[in-house]
């Protein structure tokens, strides 16, 4: 109990402490001591990571207090939560260390680190939440605490993006809350279940049709966070304006909250209840549309960070597609892709950040010859890109394999074949929008002025996190078994 | 009769007479008297509340020992005592939070007048809460109006006098309708005491007599009280009155005065007409629709506003809409949600007004958003408090606003016909709330290093900061441990029947 | 309903007067006319109460010559209510009038809309 609690409370308190202690000075006050700030933030990140890893092995759930009668704030560690918090505990500190170097050229560092830690704590709470109302609480708090990361640089564009993010998320969360009210009436309790659903049998027979609507609204609502069409527009606006390490966290971790939410909702309703209904069909349609559209938009986007954000839209719907198919194989694929995409996208965004930091280049066509200047960064970028496309032996391959397999075995008419086809097309598009960067980066062509090249490799503090993330993305492709075991446990509800 | 049973009467009388005494006292002494009276009444209400919770039943107190049909009566139950306690807390905090601004807002020679008005307001609120007699209620409604009007216009600038006139006009329309409705009711039943009227109304309904005049009378009373509590189409007076009066006045007016009328309406619904009879009329549908409209249009007006205090004032219109939506649902759950929202809104709105003044003070006294940029860095406590208030208004869990929204939604789910409308409007209104409150929060936390205003430290505003902390705590308490309060409201409503 | 209206003509008249007063208070822009409307409205209610309390052939409930039999007097409660009401309405009227004087000395007009436009011009 104390482990779970401290993995949540420690980063939140540390974040608040940083916000108060190192707040941006007013005119006339002495500037923030940058060294101690980074030291504090670094220590807090490491301590939190240790807490979280220890908490992963916690067995028993506990109720913190009652928000209202029969609305307990309840925490529990289960397998699904473990996977998501594993992702967070690796990506967030990595990107955090990256930002110690990166944030040198931005202002208001204390605010950044403060909210960064808050996000970490809230996301842990989200992973460990044991019932819908706790989940909802931290879902809202996640939006609130991650918004300052989006509008960090304070430009008008960033503030508008932050507000857009806020409104989309709030709309989504409200739609979800709408569903929670009905679930509350029709379920015995709001505690999460994984496969069998918590609906009362009488509720299904009496107003099953209405409950389907509720399920759909909830999926749409939580889908907002995961950037699902038609509520995806905030994502390509909000992610790129944040500082690069923050975009990495936003794209790799925070959007996964939407996925986690979807898994929880599916668990509450039970896959048996939703299988074969119009909800499943509609949901499959939406995810496939998003997969295709996201890739296409990414393909046409000239700004690297925006391109990566569109790619996030597309890749997240891979995961949602796997969930929508609703069988064990595709579920495994989805969860694997959660991890794979998390590592890969974080690595890619950090690479983009390193490029911006060293060269100030943001557009793809400016990046010719970049591989000669920053070889380590671009090698990582290339390997991660291959992973995202799904070329063996990277993590992306395994997850997409399971997704396609699950879809083919599902026996849903039309979609069982259409799904893999669209996944393949989208993979081709992914290759189309990521690989040119590596190709032109390493082989700028005969007409390129090689004389202007300089060594621009960033320092170890930046390359190490990128390398670690890239390495992990390959590792889960080579040794997926351990994770598959955990996922199997998750799929069967333990 | 137990000694504690005298407390309601004592508290009304105490505030009434202390008001009179304040007129001859110097300002400083008047301030002390005012504070002490509020605290004493708060304590008495708390003791009364505990006593009522322990006995578990309400009591009726004869004024002047005349029995039922002739005498005047006071009635106290859990809900009344709780409300009185809550009003005292909010009023004390609002007065304390605005105290440092008072010398700048009101001429020195009129300070004791200000305290008279506050005491009178408190006494009329208490009377509205406790009385069991319709005509007494009417008289105190008028006293309430007059003292509220005084509170608006005591800050002598053109805007407040105009606002006071507009407020008076709307209030008088409202009280005229209330009085007329009340007279028709008296004419129909021959009684002025709530319990007796209820019996006769029950008989009239059972016999099927005078249905139309009865409905007309109920409708007149409802509309009258709606106008007075600034339900949506009747809110034109509100932004000026709240936006330009003194800080404490704005906080008290928005969180207490309108709530006093709403509480009277609740009493009329439960104790005069009877909950079931009231729900069988079409009036609740009208209240429901206007409530929903208020929720949306109030927020829309707030979004357009460029003045932070007027924005908060417009948000009150939306919040009043919530309360009437709860009435309109016509269920016990809806009523509980509304009453909880009365508490939650009172706690939040006064917090917002008090916090906003801290922010405007460090921005050269300007209410315009452009000048407020970065104000939260200059006054950290006010900034934090404003953020808490905003989050509560938006309905983020852990704060009181979330619980009231939760209760509203739970109530809505139980009403088949009104479920979708109320849930959708709740959603829209939540998002709209988020639009303007988060916009403000971002604005006050935006970094403005070249702003020409000086910051303020904790040492310069100890009392103010303590008040803000109390308000934040109140909000969090309402948000985190709502269950006992909800239970208490339920118990109080059960006593009403 | 028709015949009732004629029998209860007092109530009908008071209702009509109430409406006149109400509309005046609501719609007139001149403050003095508004106050007149207020008084008409209040008086209409008192008329209604008095009409309701009146019993034909009896006298006002003031004991003269020691006659205490209840048959002699009309119902005293409405009269009491009217008296209380008059006190309230007088104080409210006084307050309104004082506010009107304040506004007039400041803006030299009694027209509420014009005062509003002047206030907007002041921009405060």
Q: Which residue of chain B has the CA closest to A143? A: B396
**For position A412, what pLDDT does the model report?**
81
B325 min Cα distance to partner chain C (Å)? 26
* Interface touch B394/A170, C-beta < 8 Å: yes
Classify burial at C61, counting beta carbons within 10 Å of its beta carbon; exposed 0-12, middle 13-18, buried 19 or more.
middle
Q: Helix axis angle, A278-300 relative to A415-442, nearest 10°?
A: 20
**For position A491, what pLDDT does the model report?**
66
Q: Which residue of chain C has the CA closest to B180? A: C45
Which residue range(s) make up the domain with A348?
A: 277-494
- For residue A172, the tally of other CB atoms under 10 A from its CB is 25
State the pairing for strand pair A71-75/B72-76.
unpaired
Mean pLDDT in consecutive groups of 10 residues from the start of chain B, 497 residues: 81 88 84 90 91 84 74 85 91 87 80 87 91 89 90 82 88 92 88 87 85 89 90 84 85 88 91 86 89 91 88 90 90 91 92 89 81 82 90 86 87 82 87 87 78 74 87 89 86 82
> In A, which residues are within 8 Å of B450 by CB distance?
27
* Interface touch B165/C103, C-beta < 8 Å: yes
Q: Tens digits of per-residue pLDDT, A52-103?
A: 888 888 777 788 877 776 778 888 888 888 889 889 999 999 998 888 888 8
Q: Which residue of chain A has the CA closest to B456? A: A26
* Interface touch A170/B396, C-beta < 8 Å: no
Say what the pTM is: 0.87
- Distance between CA atoms of B130 and A278, rounded to whole angstroms? 56
Q: Which of B387, B400, B414, B434 to mutate to test the interface with A (most CBs of A within 10 A)?
A: B434
Q: Does A140 touch chain B (CB under 8 A)?
A: yes
Dihedral-angle region of residue B191 (phi above 0 means left; psi in -120 to 50 means alpha; beta otherwise): beta
B161 min Cα distance to partner chain C (Å)? 7
Where do the domains of chain B lie? 282-497
* Interface touch A181/B430, C-beta < 8 Å: no
Q: Does A31 touch chain B (CB under 8 A)?
A: no
Contacting subunits of B (3+ beta carbon pairs below 8 A): A, C
Which residue range(s) make up the domain with C118?
A: 2-122
State the pairing for strand pair B59-63/B72-76.
antiparallel
Q: Tens digits of per-residue pLDDT, A189-201?
A: 777 765 566 777 7
**For position A342, what pLDDT does the model report?**
92
ipTM for the predicted complex: 0.92
Whether the pLDDT of residue A133 is over 70: the answer is yes
Classify burial at A87, counting beta carbons within 10 Å of its beta carbon; exposed 0-12, middle 13-18, buried 19 or more.
buried
Dihedral-angle region of residue A459 (phi above 0 means left; psi in -120 to 50 means alpha; beta otherwise): beta
Chain mean pLDDT for chain A: 85
Q: Does A36 touch chain B (CB under 8 A)?
A: no
Find the CATH number of the domain harbouring C101.
Answer: 1.10.287.3510
C55 min Cα distance to partner chain B (Å)? 13
| Short-list A180, A195, A221, CA closest to A71 | A180
Whether the pLDDT of residue A207 is over 80: the answer is no
Asked which of A232-246, B223-237, C55-69, C73-87 is least confident by mean pLDDT, the reply is: C55-69
* Interface touch B135/C103, C-beta < 8 Å: no
- Give me B356's structure tokens: 């906003």
Whether the pLDDT of residue C122 is over 80: the answer is no
**For position B238, what pLDDT does the model report?**
85
Q: Where are the alpha helices (DSSP H) in A56-200?
A: 79-102, 109-128, 132-150, 156-186
**For position A364, what pLDDT does the model report?**
83
**For position A64, what pLDDT does the model report?**
80
Pick B168's closest partner by Cβ from C42, C99, C116: C99
- Distance between CA atoms of B361 and B308, rounded to whole angstroms? 12
Pick C119's closest partner by Cβ from B138, B162, B176: B162
* Interface touch C103/B161, C-beta < 8 Å: yes
A293 min Cα distance to partner chain B (Å)? 28
Pick C88's closest partner by Cβ from B139, B161, B192: B139
A138 Cβ neighbours under 8 A, 6+ residues apart: A122, A123, A125, A126, A129
- Distance between CA atoms of B404 and B347, rounded to whole angstroms? 12
Q: Do chains A and B touch (3 or more CB pairs under 8 A)?
A: yes
Three-state SS string over B11-30 comes to HHHHHHHHHHHHCCCCHHHH
Q: Which of B388, B397, B408 to mutate to test the interface with A (most CBs of A within 10 A)?
A: B397
**For position B89, what pLDDT does the model report?**
92
- Distance between CA atoms of B351 and B312, rounded to whole angstroms? 11
């Amino acid at each position: 109990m104390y482990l779970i609690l401290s993995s949540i409370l420690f980063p939140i308190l540390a974040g608040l402490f940083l916000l108060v202690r190192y707040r941006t000075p007013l005119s006339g006050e002495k500037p923030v001591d940058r060294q101690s700030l980074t030291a504090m933030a670094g220590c807090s990140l490491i301590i939190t990571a240790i807490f979280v890893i220890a908490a992963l092995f916690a067995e028993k759930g506990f109720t913190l207090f009652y928000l209202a009668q029969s609305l307990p704030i309840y925490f529990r560690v289960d397998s699904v939560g473990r996977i998501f918090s594993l992702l967070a505990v690796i990506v967030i500190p990595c990107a955090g260390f990256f930002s110690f170097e990166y944030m040198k050229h931005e202002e208001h560092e204390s605010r950044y680190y403060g909210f960064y830690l808050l996000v970490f704590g809230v996301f842990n709470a989200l992973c460990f939440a044991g019932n819908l109302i706790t989940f909802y609480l931290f879902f809202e708090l996640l939006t609130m605490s991650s918004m300052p990361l989006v509008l960090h640089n304070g430009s008008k564009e960033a503030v508008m993006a932050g507000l857009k993010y806020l409104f989309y998320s709030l709309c989504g969360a409200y739609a979800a809350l709408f569903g929670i009210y009905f679930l509350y009436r029709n379920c015995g309790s709001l505690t999460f279940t994984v496969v069998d659903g918590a609906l009362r049998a009488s509720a299904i027979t009496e107003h099953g049709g209405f409950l389907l609507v509720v399920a759909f609204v909830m999926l749409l609502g939580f889908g907002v966070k995961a950037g699902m069409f038609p509520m995806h527009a905030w994502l390509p606006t909000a992610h790129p304006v944040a500082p690069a390490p923050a975009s990495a966290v936003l794209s790799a971790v925070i959007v996964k909250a939407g996925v986690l939410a979807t898994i929880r909702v599916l668990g509450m309703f039970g896959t048996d209840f939703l299988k074969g209904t119009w909800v499943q069909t509609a949901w499959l349609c939406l995810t496939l549309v998003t997969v295709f559209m996201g890739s296409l938009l990414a393909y046409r986007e000239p700004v690297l960070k925006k391109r990566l954000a569109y790619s996030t839209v597309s890749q997240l719907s891979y995961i949602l597609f796997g969930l929508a198919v609703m069988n064990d194989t595709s579920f495994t694929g989805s969860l694997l892709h959660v991890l794979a995409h998390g590592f890969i996208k974080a690595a890619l965004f950090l690479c983009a950040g390193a490029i911006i930091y060293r060269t100030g280049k943001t557009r793809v066509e400016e990046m010719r010859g970049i591989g000669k200047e920053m070889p380590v960064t671009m090698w990582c970028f290339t390997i991660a890109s291959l992973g995202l496309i799904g070329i063996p032996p990277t993590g992306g391959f395994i997850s997409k394999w399971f997704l396609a397999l699950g879809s083919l075995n599902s026996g849903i008419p039309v979609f069982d074949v259409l799904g893999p086809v669209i996944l393949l097309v989208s993979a081709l598009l992914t290759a189309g929008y990521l690989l040119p960067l590596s190709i032109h980066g390493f082989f700028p062509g005969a007409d390129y002025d090689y004389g202007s090249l300089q060594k621009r490799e960033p320092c170890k503090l930046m390359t190490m996190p990128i390398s670690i993330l890239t390495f992990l993305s390959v590792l889960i492709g080579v040794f997926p078994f351990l994770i598959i075991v955990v996922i199997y446990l998750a799929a069967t509800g333990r | 009769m137990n000694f504690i049973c005298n407390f309601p009467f004592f508290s009304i009388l105490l505030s009434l007479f202390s008001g009179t005494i304040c007129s001859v006292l110097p300002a400083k002494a008047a301030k002390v008297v005012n504070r002490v009276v509020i605290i004493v009444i708060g304590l008495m209400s708390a003791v009364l509340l505990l006593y009522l919770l322990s006995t578990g039943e309400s009591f009726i107190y004869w004024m002047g020992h005349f029995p039922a049909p002739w005498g005047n009566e006071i009635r106290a139950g859990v809900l009344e005592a709780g409300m009185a306690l809550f009003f005292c807390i909010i009023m004390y905090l609002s007065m304390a939070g605005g105290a440092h601004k008072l010398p700048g807002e009101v001429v020195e020679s009129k300070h004791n007048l200000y305290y008279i008005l506050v005491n009178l307001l408190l006494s009329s609120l208490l009377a509205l809460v406790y009385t069991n007699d319709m005509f007494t209620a009417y008289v105190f409604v008028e006293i309430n109006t007059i003292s509220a009007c005084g509170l608006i216009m005591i800050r002598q600038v053109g805007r407040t006098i105009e606002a006071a006139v507009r407020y008076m006009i709307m209030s008088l329309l409202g009280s005229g309708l209330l009085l007329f409705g009340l007279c028709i009711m008296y004419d129909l039943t021959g009684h002025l005491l709530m319990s007796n009227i209820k019996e006769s109304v029950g008989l009239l309904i059972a016999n099927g007599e005078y249905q139309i005049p009865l409905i007309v009378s109920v409708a007149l009373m409802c509309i009258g009280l709606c106008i007075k509590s600034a339900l949506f189409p009747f809110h034109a007076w509100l932004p000026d009155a709240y936006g330009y009066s003194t800080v404490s006045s704005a906080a008290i007016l928005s969180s207490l005065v309108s709530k006093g009328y709403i509480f009277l309406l609740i009493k009329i619904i439960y104790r005069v007409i009877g909950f079931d009879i009231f729900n069988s009329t079409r009036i609740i549908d009208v209240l429901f629709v206007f409530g929903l409209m208020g929720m949306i249009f109030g927020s829309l007006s707030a979004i357009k506003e460029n003045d932070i205090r007027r924005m908060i004032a417009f948000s009150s219109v939306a919040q009043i809409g919530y309360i009437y939506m709860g009435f309109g649902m016509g269920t016990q759950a809806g009523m509980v949600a509304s009453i909880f929202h009365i508490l939650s809104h009172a706690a939040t709105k006064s917090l917002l007004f008090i916090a906003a003044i801290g922010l405007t003070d460090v921005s050269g006294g300007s209410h315009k958003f452009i000048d407020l940029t970065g104000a939260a860095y200059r006054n950290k406590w006010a900034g934090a408090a404003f953020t808490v208030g905003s989050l509560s208004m938006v309905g983020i869990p852990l704060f009181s606003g979330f619980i009231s929204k939760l209760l509203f939604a739970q109530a809505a789910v139980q009403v088949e016909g009104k479920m979708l409308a109320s849930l959708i409007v709740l959603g829209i209104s939540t998002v709209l709330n988020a639009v303007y409150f988060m916009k403000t929060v971002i604005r006050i936390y935006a970094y403005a290093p070249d702003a020409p205003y000086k910051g303020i430290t904790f040492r310069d505003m100890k009392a103010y900061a303590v008040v803000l902390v109390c308000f934040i705590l109140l909000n969090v308490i309402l948000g985190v441990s709502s269950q006992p309060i909800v239970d208490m409201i339920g118990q109080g409503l059960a006593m009403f029947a | 309903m028709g015949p009732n209206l004629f029998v209860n003509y007092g109530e009908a008249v008071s209702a009509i007067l109430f409406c006149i007063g109400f509309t005046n208070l609501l719609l007139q822009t001149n403050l003095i006319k508004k106050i007149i409307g207020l008084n008409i409205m209040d008086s209409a209610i008192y008329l209604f109460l008095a009409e309701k309390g009146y019993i034909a052939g009896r006298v006002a409930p003031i004991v003269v010559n020691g006659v205490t039999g209840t048959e002699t007097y009309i119902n005293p409660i409405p009269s009491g209510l009217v008296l209380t009401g008059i006190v309230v309405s007088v104080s409210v009227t006084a307050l309104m009038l004082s506010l009107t004087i304040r506004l007039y000395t400041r803006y030299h007009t009694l027209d509420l809309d014009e005062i509003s436009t002047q206030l907007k011009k002041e921009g405060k």
